[in-house]
Structure 1
């Protein structure tokens, strides 16, 4: 029953978000085009509920000559590939805003485990142990406010499973408020990181 209510809230908040953020989104679009050559958006294959695949949308934060399908942590000096506006968007998580479209389409929720990359087999397998693959993936989640990029995969999967087990209004509110605090403080963001925990940003934005 709660998942139906959750879906309704997702759609309403996403539509309101698109309206309220129309001007900032337009500014970001212009900034991306002025800053570097290439498309404004990029899509990336991710794992959805029950391990189905979908394409997630993000604002492009890397240059178009970045080696394709190479995880950020495997790039030599990743910073050289990240655009100027891209660094700002990654730090503030503004590059994630296009996922509002994924939420409206029913592929994601506002709150839920961050969708794993299709080839993050270790994370997907770990999440299976805790039932974390059986709930809709989210724009932000329990693991994101509990360590974000700094978490090892086993800990991240366990936190995602804890969310799946306790999913409900109070859990979603805690994640939502915690996300605001985390973004303001840029808590847990490790650009390039270890590469083992970056379901959010460990593949080239191209």
Structure 2
């Protein structure tokens, strides 16, 4: 069920698909019972491997202590949820978290109960490892069955086209309100019956409607007994993240933006930047001094070039680079991208650009908290793609400024660097920057920094 399904007007009743709700419940139960059996098998096997006795008493005792804790945590953290069934990766992550937390609780309980002599740490560790592997493999089997039998989707989704914006959802059923005479009239039982027939056996219904019909569809959906959603031109233009209800003032607002990093993430990222930039400046002090001398000897001009850029929260800051162009040809706004044989670039500057050494003074920007090691690269205020300013090409451009700009970034390690000669070049970079912001983790930052070593010297570095 990968392509949208259109229902003919003559077949409003019965609905086009059977409910998958019972199937989901059955799969949850199968998954849970399989987990119970495999955890028992894992700890029974650990007794065999460690003491040569399958189902050895102390190993099984550890498994019996952990099992109810695991099931409690698993039911709470989404191990048995729709997301776990539709995404193998999500399901394995949730399962692993529940297993590790339950094992930690077992050790905590055993320590305070002074019952450590009753358990073998080695057989417990082996049993835990085997259980993780068995449960991960079990989820692979279940995931393949879900993919094979249900095309990876365990929800029936219906899109009702009622004159609103286009809604393209792979695998969704689709009907046209005008063709089936689906009118959101709470005072007309016949109209309500037609809508109910179209929605039957659906888990989720999305109505794409005109502004004037929005409130009527709200009333109909609230009486439908399914998860109902509205799509309208106004909502599509605003691109809201959700609703916020303020009980104290009886106010409902649209949530428009949210910082990509929580305060804990910002503290971790800043501590990482601060420690690494300090170490780098100390280790690179002599090479940086030699570069400064080479620039000075080349044409006698200033060593550093300062340019205004836009940083986090749309605030200006001055970025520092080693000067690579003639003093009389400096482009303070960055309106003209540097070309491959750009006559403005000095002899020393050409080497610094090709090796990316000209960017190293930005370590001071990182130390001052204006930049980060990894983030969207800050563009000059007058930067253009083709003949248009960056900000005029895509309305999402300013979303890059939700994070501190970086010395390197996801776009750079994908080879998206150098001059933005076309609007497509900018679109590719913007997509990479938004992807980075949506998936930030310290581990991703470390990977990007390691991958940066491969693109320091690059064919578009000029």
- The 3 A distance-change label for structure 1 pair 124 and 101 is farther
User: How many Å separate the matches in 1 of 2:297 and 2:445?
Assistant: 37
Match of 2:364 among 101, 104, 120: 101
1:198 maps to what in 2? none
SS of equivalent residue, structure 1 residue 102: helix
- For residues 109-124 of structure 1, the aligned pairs below 5 Å read 109-120=372-383, 122-124=389-391
Alignment of 1:55 onto 2:326? no
Larger CA deviation: 59-68 vs 88-97: 59-68
Unaligned runs of 5+ in 1: 192-206
Q: TM-score, normalised by structure 1?
A: 0.83
2:352 maps to what in 1? 89
> What whole-Å deviation, never above 9, does each CA across 1:141-165 have from its counterpart, x for those lacking one?
0001112226600111010000000
Q: Is the CA contact 2:314–2:398 (under 8 Å) kept in the aligned structure 1?
A: no
Aligned residues: 188
Q: TM-score, normalised by structure 2?
A: 0.38
2:292 maps to what in 1? 29
Deviation at 1:73, TM superposition (A): 3.8
Q: Is the CA contact 1:123–1:154 (under 8 Å) kept in the aligned structure 2?
A: no
SS of equivalent residue, structure 1 residue 44: strand
> What whole-Å deviation, never above 9, does each CA across 1:14-38 have from its counterpart, x for those lacking one?
1100110011001001000001121
Deviation at 1:131, TM superposition (A): 3.1
> What whole-Å deviation, never above 9, does each CA across 1:112-136 have from its counterpart, x for those lacking one?
0001212347434637368322011
What value does the CA root-mean-square deviation take over the aligned residues? 2.3
Runs of 4+ more than 4 Å apart = none
Unaligned runs of 5+ in 2: 1-263
Deviation at 1:68, TM superposition (A): 4.2
Q: Which has the higher contact order (CA 8 A, sep 6+)?
A: 1
1:170 maps to what in 2? 443
- The 3 A distance-change label for structure 1 pair 169 and 94 is same
